[in-house]
Amino acid sequence: MQYDVIIVGAGIAGLYAALNLPKELKVLILCKDQPWECNTFYAQGGIAVAKNQADIPLHITDTLKAGAGMCNEDAVATLSKESLEVLEDLIARQTPFDRDSNGNLLFTKEAAHSTSRIIHAGGDCTGRVLHSHLIAQITHTLWKNASVTELLIDDDHCCGVSVLTKRGNYNLYANNVILASGGVGALFEYHTNAYTISSELHGMILENGLKLKDMEMLQFHPTVFVQTTHARKMLLSEALRGEGAFVVDFWGKRFLFDYDSKGELAPRDKVARSIFDYKLKLKEKYPNAKPEELEVYLDFSAFDKDFFYERFPNIARNLNSVGFDVPKDRVPISPAFHYCMGGIQTDNVGKVLGMQNLYAVGECACTGVHGANRLASNSLLEGLVFSRRATQDILANSLSFKIREFPLHTQILQKERDENLKALLRHLMWNKVGIIRKKSGLNEALGGVEVMLQSGIGRLLKLRLLTAQNIIQSALTREESIGAHYIQ
């Protein structure tokens, strides 16, 4: 089975890449489960865009400031300038963005933005609305329940992928391969990611001698309801704080202003660390306190109930389902892993460095846009802008080469003990490679990962461990705190 383009992943980056490839090409989209089981579908806040040409310099400045000096400035300029073209295209595709009574786009503000420039859809259901709208327009073939288990690399070409389906294992060949597989959520005990986001593609990159970049730069969302049994914890969008929600302790103190003059609207990494630190101090100060007195809460009392249910219908419904009467009730929150700023190292059109026909777009890639800390709602925008750039490069070059056939790999994908080891890995990464890091803890985590790598595991766990190992090594190499990387 040979294709012009194989796309791995059916989130916003994968779908938008497919929509930018003409019907005449033979294109295959692969997704590990159902196509909606992706991070895009669960994205709440919106898409950051330059509101107009005049806003581009300020959007660039905000992005660079959030990135703490580690952004690729050319990539950031590309992101902001092309946001206008992408927005125009999405509007032409009749994407149902939220508008006022006069038909004007509604913009909201999130942390570290100098102005309201975030468009949204369905209130707090931007990802779900956008994903559903884009997938309805797809004309190319999409395979569900198809897990990529190997990249078929021959020198500086990717000849295709090996894929496991319910019908068996196949080698699929292509002139071009686009990776849009998402981030690394499954490596952490508390996270907001879809359960399919496993970091296995990152491991395949490493085993083929290709590069990951800035993998120590992991963003922990500050406001997550973690008191659920589900692997994916309940994200409480930053847009809530942008619209007026505030963070308090049990006694109602807005303690974030003790850490940063911007309070709730400080950059995410500062808010997450502040909450984490404050909870530790509460435990030290009040060793005999009741559990609820040691919690930190998100307070919605500034909201009118009708406004809250109109602006945040999904969050209201989810919180109602676990027993909260919002906006009346405060909700206990904790930071949780949310987004990986680093990823597969690419150039400015999403091409993987060292490869001729392999691209990476969206969260799995590192374009340099986010630097040490992603500016809120730039993630969906990055997936749109750089997937479009990747397809433009593919169409401009019309690459064709002699594809050699590969034998089907025979490695055992999963062994009996792997599930227990995955749980151990998640616990290790959360406690030792999380919000606040210590060199001793990182070394302990590295030792644990290396022991697991030598313990007769299945292939899929090995790939996760290779990614975890790279994250830890990157964190150890960067000895000074910067952006989301905070080391004591």
Residues with catalytic function? 268
Backbone phi and psi for residue 107, each to the nearest 5 degrees, phi listed first? -115, 140
Pairing of strands 168-179, 2-8: parallel
CA distance 218 to 204: 20
Q: Which 3 state secondary structure label does DSSP give 437?
A: strand
Which single residue is written with the structure tokens 């034998």? 407
R_g (Cα) of the chain, nearest Å: 22
Read out DSSP for 50-68? -SSGGGHHHHHHHHHHHTT
Do 121 and 130 contact (CB within 8 A), yes or no?
yes
Nearest alpha-carbon partner for 190 in 214, 154, 217, 226: 226
CB atoms within 10 A of CB 476: 17
CA distance 237 to 346: 29
Burial class for 488, CB neighbours closer than 10 Å (0-12, 13-18, 19+)? exposed
Nearest alpha-carbon partner for 28 in 150, 143, 131, 180: 143
CB atoms within 10 A of CB 60: 19
